[in-house]
Amino acid sequence: MSEHGIEVVLNKEYASSAAGGLAPIDTWPEVWIVNDDDFGSSMNIIESLDVELKTAMWQCSECLEMNDETFDYCWKCKRDKS
């Protein structure tokens, strides 16, 4: 967000060390947008990241399963990515 000129505050950055003693949701990091007027722009940035992640997939030529870009072979049928 900062790279886009949106002022943020990071909360619970190190709370994961308390995992086990707290509910998992209480240890997740949070990004707070300082100015309410930046909320819409922030959501657009987050949505664009989600689109980028969804496009980083490949389809297996054997079983047609969708696989994460980081997989070298299909998780379902074990065929090589090539």
Q: What is the pLDDT of residues 32-80, one digit of tens each?
A: 999 999 999 999 998 888 766 666 789 999 999 999 888 999 999 999 9
Query: What is d(CA 3, CA 70) in angstroms, rounded to the nearest whole number?
Result: 26
pLDDT for res 52: 63
pLDDT for res 28: 87
pLDDT for res 60: 96
Query: What is d(CA 82, CA 74) in angstroms, rounded to the nearest whole number?
Result: 10
pLDDT for res 54: 65
